[in-house]
Amino acid sequence: MGIIPYIVVSCVLFVCGIIVMIARKNIIGILLGIELVLNAAALNFVTFTKFNNLNLDGHIFALFIILVAAAEAAVGLAIVIRFFQVRESVHIDSATQLQS
């Protein structure tokens, strides 16, 4: 099996993540989209490591990405909870406090 199916899967994942990030108005949904994008990136690392280099850099990087994604999800969800407490909504357009 060649490299193309891997990249196609990761592209699909990436594009799905982007579309979710842009199209969804729910903050949790957007966080999910970000997870998808991160996962697409992690999949790319693993794929290119597997096919091009014989060292483990990409794998380790994928592990880091999973770690960062977990931390990011934790922080993001915390913000969302806090945001919900203030605005009683998780709609992205109601986050207007930073606007002048």
Partner 1 sequence: MEYSLLTILPIVLLPFFAFVLNAFIVKKFTKTAVALSCVAIFIPFLMALRIFADFVFNKYSADYYIHKTFTWFDLSAGTQIFKVQMGIYLDNMSAVMLLMVTGVAFLIHLFSTYYMHDDARYGRFFVYLSLFTSAMLGLVLSDNLFSVFIFWELMGFCSYSLIGFYYEKEGAGNASIKAFMTTRVGDVFFLLGIVALWSTVGSVSYVEIYKAIAESSLSSPVFLFGFGIPLATFAGFCIFMGTIGKSAQFPLQVWLPDAMFGPTPCSALIHAATMVAAGVYLSLRMYPLMDAGGLLEFIAYIGGITALGAATIALVQTDIKAVLAYSTISQLGYMVLGIGVGAYNASLMHLITHAVFKACLFLSAGSVIHALHDHHTHAPVQEMPRMGGLRKKLPYTFLAMLFCTLAISGVPLFSAFVSKDRILGDALLMATHSSTYIIPAILGLCGAFLTPFYMFRMMFLTFFGEPRDVELNKHAHHEHFSFNRNLPLLILSVFTLGFWYSGSLTGQGELKVFPESKYEWFQVLVEKPDLNKFLGRTSTPLAVPESKEFIEHSHYDPNHGITSEEEAHHVHLVHRVGAIASVVIALSAIFLAYCMYISKKFSPAWWTSNFARWTKALQNRYYFDHLYIDILIKRLLHPLNNLLAWIDMGLYDRYAVDGWERVLAFSYSVARWFDNIIIDSVLVDGSGISVRFFNIVLRTIQNGKIQFYFLVLLFVLASYVLAFKPVI
Give me the least distance between CB of 25 and partner 1, in Å please. Answer: 8
Query: Any contact of residue 80 with partner 1 (CB under 8 A)?
Result: no
Q: How many residues form the binding site for partner 1 (CB under 8 A)?
A: 11
Residues of this chain, 5-34, that bind partner 1 according to CB under 8 A: 18, 21-23, 30
Query: Does the footprint of partner 1 cover residue 93 (CB under 8 A)?
Result: yes
96 scored as a contact of partner 1 (CB under 8 A): yes
Distance in angstroms (rounded) separating the CA atoms of residues 48 and 45: 5
Written as one string, the DSSP assignment of 49-98 is HHHT-SSSHHHHHHHHHHHHHHHHHHHHHHHHHHHHHHHS--BGGG--TT
C-beta closer to partner 1: residue 23 or 70: 23
| Coil, helix or strand at residue 40 | helix
CB 48 within 8 A of CB 36: no
Min dist CB 29 to partner 1, Å, is: 11
